[in-house]
Structure 1
Amino acid sequence: MRAFNRVNSVENISSSQSILLELMDVWCVCEPSMERRALACSKMAAMLSLTKDEVEYLMRVRSPALAVTESIVSVGRVSLERRAILSMERSAKLGHTKGALQLLERMALSVKMEEAVLLVGESGVGKTSLVQVLADMKGEKLDTVNLGPHSDTDDLITSLRPTSYGRVMEPFTCDFVGLFSKSFDVSKNEKFMRNLEVLLMHQKYDEYLKVVEETAKRILSKKRESAWADLVVRARRLREGLEKGASPFAVQRGIVREAADEGHWLLIDEINLAPPECLDAIVDAISSSHHPNFRLFACMNPATDTAKRRLPEGIRARFVEYFVNEDSDAVDLAKIVSSYLPSSSVASVEAIVKLYMEAKKLYPLKLSLRSLTRALIFASDGRFDNENRCVYEAFAMAFLSNMEKEEKESMHNMIKAAFPCEKKSSMRREHEASIMIEGYEVERGDCLPIEDKEYVITRTVQENLREVARIVSSKRLAVLLEGETSAGKTSIVQHLAKITGNSIRRINNHEQTDVQEYIGSYVPDANGRLYFREGPLVEAVRKGYWVILDELNLAPSDVIETLNRLLDDNRELVVCESNEVIKAHPRFRLFATQNPAGSYAGRKRLSRALLSRFVVLLFPILPLNELSKMVCARCQIAPSAADRMIKVLLELRLQRSLSGLFSSKDGLMTLRDVFRWGHRLATDEGTDWQAAMIHHGYFLLAGRCRNEADKKAVISTLESTLKGKINEKDLFSIESPYFPHDLAFEHVVLTFNMRRMLVLAWQALTRNEAVLVVGETGDGKTRLAQTLGGEQMLTINCHERTECSDLLGRLRPAANGGFEWQDGVVISAMREGRVLLMDEISLAEDSVLERLNPLFEEKRTILLTDCGAQAEEVTAQGEFKVIATMNPGGDYGKKELSKALRNRFTEIWSSASFERAELCSIFAMRMTKTMDAV
C-alpha cells in the first residue's frame, strides 16, 4: 500500500527512473547488505526496462541537490515549506555526501507523505544528527525521548503525578475568572480581583478559596447556575485537601502526547529497547489523534550488539525503514572533513582521510564516523599555534580511545607520522579565569581552586592527568575511565576538580540503580506533601558541575541509555516528569568509572553504541616504583618501609599465581592492602617500627588465609623480606600490646581463636576499617561482634530479599496523610556513632551491598537522594564501625562476596578448631549459665 501511494504521487508516471526511486525507498533501502540491495534493485529495473548503468547511477552516483530559501527547503525531488528562519548552527556542519543527501531526500519525502520513519544503523553513523538537521532546516521543534526495557507508558503518554496547589489553582482560577467576567463588570471590581491575586501570590490558598466560595454562594442565592454550583463543590474539595495536608495530584501529558497535540516532531531513540506493550501504547496514542504537523521518527541499532533486540514486526510495519550505512568512500569522507575544516588545504584533507581509513581498517570496532567528527570538531576550534598541532591533538584525543598500551602506541605513531609537530607550546587560553593543566586549558569553576598537596603525581599519573585534561579542554566530551580497583580512576577526577575550583557530584551505581537516582524523584516537603525534587545529575547539568558516575557497568543498561542525548553533541537531558529538555551548562562535564567486565562480579560489558559516546581511557596498574612513592606520600611512612611493603606484595602475588594463594573464591590482593598496611604502620604507637611493620603485615595478609599452607607461605614471605620473626602465641596472648584490654569478657571464653580474632578485629576497627569475619557456623563470629560492639550495637540479619531500603531507609505514610522518611539501620548507626553488625552479609545481593560503597571509603559518607525536601549526605559519627560476618561459600545457599566488595573489607578467617581444654571451658561456662537461669 505504501509503495502504491508513493508511485501514485509521482508527477511524471512515464518516468521509469522516478518509479524505481520510489520503489527502492520503500522496498530496498531497509536492507543492510549493499549486495542484496543492488540485486533487488536490478530485478525491479529489469521489469521497468532500465539498464544496469541507470541502476548504478541511482544507487551510488546520484547526489540530490540541497537548497534552502526563506520559505522552501528543497532536497532532490522533494520541496517542503519552512515554518521558521533557519538556524545555521547545526546545518553548517553537514557534510554533503551522497549518502547523507540521499537519506535527507528520503526523510523529506516521508515527511511530505506523512509517513513514520525508522532509521536503522550502527552507532555513530549520524542517524539522530540527520533528523535534527532536517528539523532545523524545516523550522520544526524536535522532541526526543530515549526508550529502554523499563520505559513507563504513563510517563510517555499521560499520567497522574503529584503537583503543587499553585498548579491546581491555575485551572480553578481560570474557570472562576471566566464565570465572574460573564456575571459582573470586571472593571468595577478591579480592587476585589487584585486582592484575590495577592492571596494567590502569597500562597494563602485557604483564604482565597473561602472568598471564592462565598462569592459563588451569593450569586447562587440570586440565580441558579450549574457552573457556579460546580465551582462551590470544587472549592470545598480543595479546602478539605488543604486542611488534611494531602498531596495534590494532576493529570499530566507525557512527551509523546504533548508532541502529538502541539504538532512537534518526535524522535524516539533506541526504540528496539522498549517492551512491546509500551510501543503498542505509543502507536495507539498517536494513531487516535494528532496535530497535522506532527511527524514521528525512530532510531535503533541493529540487533547484533549487547542488549539490542529486534523490533516487533507489528510495530516495524508502521514505519518506512531506511538502513543508514557508514560513509566509507574517500570522496565522501573528504567532504565531511572539509565541512568541519573549510580552510584546510587539499593535502591536509587527504592526509586526514588517509589516516582515518587506515585506522578504521586496523580497529573497525573501536573507530567510527563519530570518532572522526569528534576529532574534527576539536581541531576546528584552533586552540593551538599551527594546524598540524591542532589536528595532532584532536586525533590523539579521539583515536586513542579504548585502546590497550600496545594498540595506543601503534595508533600514536600513525598520528605522529601523518601530522608531525613540535609539542612545545601550550593550548591558547580563551578565558582569563581558566587554569592550564599539563598544557591544556580547563575552565575554572565557581569554587576557589585548592592546592591538592595530598595527591601524589607519579609519571604514570601525570600521563593519565594529561589525557584527562586534554579531553576536558574539549568542553563537550564525556570521559570513561576503566581500570582495576585502586587504579586511581575516581581520585584523578576529584584532584582535577579541586585544583580548578569545579564542584563535583558523585553517583555510585549498583545493579538496582534507578533513573530516579540520576534525574530525581517525588519526595515529601516539610508538610509531608509530595513534590518533584531534581536529582544530582539534573542539578549538575543546570549549574555546570562535574559528575562522576562510579561503577558505570554495574548499572542496568536501560538506565545508562537514558544519558544518550546528554552524551551526544546535543548535550541535552530530558526530564520526563516535567517534559523539560535541559541544555547542559557550558562548564558541565561527565565522567564515568568502571572495573573491567568479566574480572569483577556483576560488571557488564557495555554496548558498542554506548562506548562510542565516551572517550575511553584504560588505566594500567601503576609500576612498582611509582606505587612505592605513592604509598610513602599517602601514608607518611619512610621510603624504605614502602619499598619493603611493595616487595612483599610482589612476592605474594607471584606465589598466588603459582600456587593459588588465598583459597577464597575472589581472594586477590590489591593496592588497598598496601595502603591499609602503610596506614597502620603510620598510626602504630610502638617504638619498634620494623616489628610493627611485620606484625601488621601478618595481621592483614595471614589473617585472611583459610588453610595452613597459605598462612605458612605468607609468614615465610614476610620473615624473609622484612628480616624478622613472627610468634603467633605472643601476638595473640592476653599480654600482647595489640590485645584490647578495655573490653568486657564476662561471658566469653578466651580461646586462642577468640584471642586471635579479637586482636585482628580490634587493630582494624581502631583505624576505621570495615571488618569481615568469615568462618563456619558456631565458631564465635557473632560473639566476637557482640564483645567488640557492646550493648549499643545495632544488628541487621541479611538474607536473599534484603533491600537497599532495609539498610538506608524508606518513605512511610504519616498520620497527617503525607509521607515521612524513616532511617534504616545503617543510617541510624552512622548518625548515632554506634557499631553495626551485618550478620550473614553474603546472603544479600551484591547489588544491594554495592550501594554502601562510599561508606567504606576514607570519608565514610552516604548520599541519601530521596530522604525528604533536600538530598542529604550522611557522615559517620564518632565510634561508628562496621563488622560483617558470613559463612564460606560452598554450603547450601551460601556464596562468596564479590572481589570488589571483599577488597573494601579487612577480612578475618575464623578457625573452627579447638583444643580439648578450650572445649571444656566453653562447656563449663554454658552449664554455669544454664544452672544460674534455673
Structure 2
Amino acid sequence: MQYLFELCSITWTKSMWRLFFLIERCYRSREPVLLVGETGGGKTTVCQVLSAVLGVKLHILNCHQYTETSDFIGGFSPVRDRSTIALEYKHLISTLKGMKIFIHVAGDVLFPSDISGAISVVNRMNEILDRYRKEKELFPEVPPQDIDDMEQIKLKLMHLHQKSKAIFLWQDGPLVQAMKSGDLFLIDEVSLADDSVLERLNSVLEPERKLSLAEQGGSVLEKIVAHPNFFILATMNPGGDYGKKELSPALRNRFTELWVPAVTDVDELKSIAVERFSKAELSCFGDCIVNFLKWFNHLHTGRMLTIRDLLSWISFINLTEMKLGSQQALIHGLFLVLLDGLTLGMNLAKSEATELRRTCMSFILEELRKVEGKPLNSRLNDLKNYGWGDDITKTDIDCNHPDDFGIAPFYITKGHFACKQQGFLFTAPTTSKNVLRVLRGMQLPKPLLLEGSPGVGKTSLIMSLAGFSGHNVVRINLSEQTDMMDLLGSDLPLEGENGIEFAWSDGILLQALKNGSWVLLDELNLAPQSVLEGLNAILDHRAEVYIPELGQTYKCPQSFRVFACQNPSSQGGGRKGLPKSFLNRFTKVYVDELKEDDYFSICKSEYPLLSDDLLRNLICFNNRLFTDTMIHRKYGQEGSPWEFNLRDIMRSCQMIADSPDTSKNDCFLNTVYLQRMRTAVDRNEVLKLFEEVFQIKPSIHQSKMLYVNAHCLVVGNASIRRNNSRSYAVQINQLNILPGILHSLEAAIHCIHQGWLCILVGQHSSGKTSLIR
C-alpha cells in the first residue's frame, strides 16, 4: 500500500467518484483504459488510488520522445553488481547445507566458496539426488519437499553461474514484470511516445493479452500470457497544445477511452478547499479563493488556473499563516500561484501585466473584505510589500542565522555546505524584489521556473542563493540536442579486471538527485519539449524517477530542488513554447529587468575605486545605445537584435580597472561596443553617442600600433605572450597582419586576457580564421 499514506487526504468529490467508478468497472472486465484530460485533472492520482485500494503494485512508465520498445518489455543490459551474485550464491549454499537431505545423504562434503565452482556443486547435488532415489528407504527422516527444494536450488545455481559469466543478460521491462506478477501498469503521457513503439503493445491490448519476446532471442520463442489480475492504464493530454498529438485511431480503438474533465464545479472546488485547510478558522478563505479562480478563468487571458493552483495556494497559506497572518498569507499566496509569473506563456506586454496585476489585487481584496466584514488594513494593497511596484525599499538579508537564510518574511533552511557570502549583491533594489519572489516560491516544495530577458541575473541569482544558503547546485545547460540519456544516464564501457566491461553511469540529473543537490535547468525552452515531459514524475507530487535500464525507482530526497531558467520564447533563437501540462508543475516567477539604480549599486559594489560619475556615464551610455538601436532603431539594424545589459557594463568596468592609465575612460569602447557593429556608419554613431554622454572625444585611432618580437605581440593597448612552437602546419609567410584587422585583433587579445568568449562574425573570406591563427 505504498500510496495509501499520500492519498489519505484526497477529497472524494462527485468527479473523483465518477472517475474511480468507471476505472474500477474497467478493471473488473480487464479492459485497457485510456484517460484523456487537461493537466491537473487527477488522471495519475486516480490510478494510484486504484492501486492502493486493490493492494496491488503500480508500475509507472513516463513516456517521452525517445521512449523505446525496450523501455516497456525489457532488453539485454550489462550484468550489474556482481557482489550481489556472490551473496546470493553463499545464501543458496547455506540453505542447501541446512536441508535434511543434505545432512543425511551427502555426509561430509566441502563446497567451493566462489561462484565459479557452481557447476561442481550442481554435479554433487545430482549425485545426492540419485543416491536418495536409489536408497530412499534408508532415509525416512528426509521429507519429500526437500527433493523439490533441491531441484529449485539447482536451477538457481545454474542461473547464477550463467549470470556471473555473461556480460549482457536479458532483463524484463516493467510491462513484462507487471504481466507476470499480476500488477497494474500505467503508461503516463502515452501520446508522447512514437506510434511505432506503442504499436508493439497491440497484442497485450487484445482480449488474449499475450506478448511474444522475439527480442530475447534463443532457440525457443518466449510467449507471455498476462496474469489474470494484470491491468493496463494510460493517460494523456488532448492534442492542440505545444508538442501534443492524438493517438492513432487504431491504438485508441484498443482502449476504453474516458474523458477526464477539469474540475470547474464551484461546490466541488469549495469542498476541496475547505478540507485542505489545516485549521478550521482558515476555511472561510475557501470562498475567496474559489471565487477568484472562477472570475479569473472567465477573463480568458490565455492562462487557466487549475486544481493544482488551488492546492498550492492553500498549502502556502497553511505553511505561512502563523508568521504572516492569514490575510497576508492569502495575498502572498495569490502572487505565488499567479501574479509573480503573470507574463509566462500569456504573451502579455509589461504594461498589460501590471494593469492585470492591479485588477487581480482589487478583486481579491474585495472578496477578503466581504469575508472579514470590516475595512482592511491599507498596507494590504501596497504592491511593494509583495515584491512589486516601483517604490525602492531597503531590504535586509539575513545571512547570519545559523539555520536559515532569506529576506523577511521568507526564509529557507541552510544546507550542509559552507556558506559563501560574497560575489552577489542582493541589496540592489530590483534584485532584492526578484530574490523575495524566488524565496516566496521556495516556501513550497515545487520546482521553480524563472523567466526574464538575458542578463537580468536569473542563473546567477539561483547560484548565489545556493552559495549563501550552503547548498550544492548542479547547473545543466539544455539545448535542442539534449537527450534523456544526458540527464539520467546510460551504460558505458570501462576497463575492468576481466577486460572491457559495461557499467551504468549516472547522468548529471540522477547524480544530483541521489546527492540531494539543487538542480538548475538553464535555457529550459531550448530542450525538446517531449524530452522534458519525461521528467514529469520528478516535478509533480510523485517526486521520483524510474530508470527502465536499472528497473529501479529513485525518490527525491527532501533537500533536492529543481530550478529552471529561460528567456522569453518571443526572443527566438530556437526557443519554444512549453505546454500547459509541463508549466503547470512549476511555481513561475518573472524576473524584472535591472534599472539604472541596480546597475549602479552592483558596479559600485564590485568596483569601488571607480568614480560615481564614471559609473553613471557607463550606465547611461549602455542604456542610450540599447534605446537607439532596439527601440528607436536609429542605427545598428544590420546584425540586430542587440542586447546591451549588465554584462557589457561589468566588462567595461573591468577593462577600465585593469587599464594602466585609469584616466583613459574610453579603453573599453572598441572591445565591448564598437567591434560589435557591422558597418562604418554604425560605428561612427556609437562614437558620437560616447562623445555626447562622456563629454570627451574618444581616442580611437584609425591605425593601431603593432609591435612583434620573439616574446610578445603588442596591438594598441593589448599584448599577448608568444610561444616558440606552433602546433599547426602553417607557413609564417602565409599570415600577414593587415591594417584592417588590427582593431579586431586588439579586441580579441583583450577577450583572451579577460577570459571572455569571443565570436568572430564577418563575410566569407574576410580573414576570421587567419586572425585567430
Which residue matches 1:647? Answer: 620
Correspondence for 1:115 among 13, 19, 31: 31
Amino acid at match of 2:677: C
**Aligned positions of 1:254-293 closer than 5 A:** 254-285=173-204, 287-288=209-210, 289-293=225-229
Which residue matches 2:649? Answer: 674
Which residue matches 2:548? Answer: 576
Which residue matches 1:633? Answer: 605
Q: Distance in 1 between matches of 2:651 and 2:670?
A: 12
Which residue matches 1:758? Answer: 745
Amino acid at match of 1:759: E
**Aligned positions of 1:483-632 closer than 5 A:** 483-527=452-496, 528-632=500-604
Q: Distance in 2 between matches of 1:229 and 1:260?
A: 26
CA 1:195–1:416 in 2, change beyond 3 Å: closer, same or farther? farther
> 3-state SS of the aligned residue for 1:119?
strand
> 3-state SS of the aligned residue for 2:48?
helix
Contact 1:438–1:469 (CA under 8 A) maintained in structure 2: no
Correspondence for 2:291 among 327, 344, 354: 354
Which residue matches 1:35? Answer: none
Amino acid at match of 1:275: D
Which residue matches 1:343? Answer: 280
Which runs of 5 or more residues in structure 1 are unaligned? 1-83, 200-207, 242-246, 787-934
Q: Distance in 2 between matches of 1:229 and 1:569?
A: 45
Contact 1:124–1:368 (CA under 8 A) maintained in structure 2: yes
Q: Deviations over 1:504-526 (max 9, x none)?
A: 11111111111122212223445
Which residue matches 2:363? Answer: 414
Q: Deviations over 1:44-71 (max 9, x none)?
A: xxxxxxxxxxxxxxxxxxxxxxxxxxxx
CA 1:235–1:157 in 2, change beyond 3 Å: closer, same or farther? closer
Q: Deviations over 1:66-112 (max 9, x none)?
A: xxxxxxxxxxxxxxxxxx69935413232x32222222221222222
> 3-state SS of the aligned residue for 1:740?
strand
Q: Deviations over 1:722-767 (max 9, x none)?
A: 2222344376122765143755896343431133232121122111
Q: Deviations over 1:228-284 (max 9, x none)?
A: 999999999888x6xxxxx81111111222122222222211111111121122343
Amino acid at match of 2:611: A
Residue 179 of structure 1, CA deviation: 9.1
TM-score normalised over the length of structure 2: 0.79
Which residue matches 1:449? Answer: 419
Residue 591 of structure 1, CA deviation: 0.4
Which residue matches 2:69? Answer: 153
Residue 432 of structure 1, CA deviation: 8.3
Q: Distance in 1 between matches of 2:158 and 2:42?
A: 55
- Alignment size in residue pairs: 676
The question of 1:399 aligning with 2:338 is answered yes
Amino acid at match of 1:381: L
Which residue matches 1:40? Answer: none
Contact 1:256–1:282 (CA under 8 A) maintained in structure 2: no
Q: Deviations over 1:297-345 (max 9, x none)?
A: 2111111211111111121122222211122222122111112126146
Which residue matches 1:304? Answer: 240
Q: Distance in 1 between matches of 2:156 and 2:258?
A: 54
Q: Distance in 2 between matches of 1:614 and 1:401?
A: 12
Which residue matches 1:477? Answer: 446
Q: Distance in 1 between matches of 2:557 and 2:342?
A: 30
> 3-state SS of the aligned residue for 1:499?
helix
Contact 1:694–1:724 (CA under 8 A) maintained in structure 2: no
Which residue matches 1:134? Answer: 50
CA 1:213–1:139 in 2, change beyond 3 Å: closer, same or farther? closer
The question of 1:733 aligning with 2:702 is answered no
Amino acid at match of 1:103: L
Amino acid at match of 1:781: K
Contact 2:674–2:686 (CA under 8 A) maintained in structure 1: yes
> 3-state SS of the aligned residue for 1:185?
helix
Q: Distance in 2 between matches of 1:235 and 1:103?
A: 46
> 3-state SS of the aligned residue for 2:322?
coil
Residue 553 of structure 1, CA deviation: 0.9
Q: Distance in 2 between matches of 1:784 and 1:631?
A: 33
Contact 1:635–1:675 (CA under 8 A) maintained in structure 2: no
Amino acid at match of 1:312: S
Q: Distance in 1 between matches of 2:10 and 2:158?
A: 58
Which residue matches 1:701? Answer: 673
RMSD: 3.5
Contact 1:490–1:593 (CA under 8 A) maintained in structure 2: yes
Which residue matches 2:726? Answer: none
Q: Deviations over 1:574-621 (max 9, x none)?
A: 222222222211222110011111313111110111111111112121
Q: Distance in 2 between matches of 1:284 and 1:154?
A: 16
Contact 2:79–2:163 (CA under 8 A) maintained in structure 1: no
Which residue matches 2:430? Answer: 460
> 3-state SS of the aligned residue for 1:410?
helix
Which residue matches 1:922? Answer: none
CA 1:765–1:253 in 2, change beyond 3 Å: closer, same or farther? same
CA 1:784–1:260 in 2, change beyond 3 Å: closer, same or farther? same
Contact 1:508–1:551 (CA under 8 A) maintained in structure 2: yes
Amino acid at match of 1:669: F
Q: Distance in 1 between matches of 2:308 and 2:156?
A: 58
Q: Distance in 2 between matches of 1:674 and 1:548?
A: 26
TM-score normalised over the length of structure 1: 0.66
> 3-state SS of the aligned residue for 2:638?
coil
Amino acid at match of 2:421: E
Residue 364 of structure 1, CA deviation: 5.6
Contact 2:520–2:565 (CA under 8 A) maintained in structure 1: yes
Residue 629 of structure 1, CA deviation: 2.1
> 3-state SS of the aligned residue for 1:694?
coil
Contact 2:111–2:121 (CA under 8 A) maintained in structure 1: no
**Aligned positions of 1:646-665 closer than 5 A:** 646-657=619-630, 658-661=633-636, 663-665=638-640
Q: Deviations over 1:884-917 (max 9, x none)?
A: xxxxxxxxxxxxxxxxxxxxxxxxxxxxxxxxxx
Q: Deviations over 1:414-463 (max 9, x none)?
A: 3344445668999xxxx983444332231221213332354343111111
Amino acid at match of 2:33: V
**Aligned positions of 1:66-215 closer than 5 A:** 87-94=4-11, 96-164=12-80, 165-166=82-83, 185=102, 196=113, 199=114, 208-209=115-116, 211-213=117-119
Residue 171 of structure 1, CA deviation: 8.0
Identical pairs, percent? 23
CA 1:290–1:233 in 2, change beyond 3 Å: closer, same or farther? closer
Q: Distance in 2 between matches of 1:614 and 1:234?
A: 47
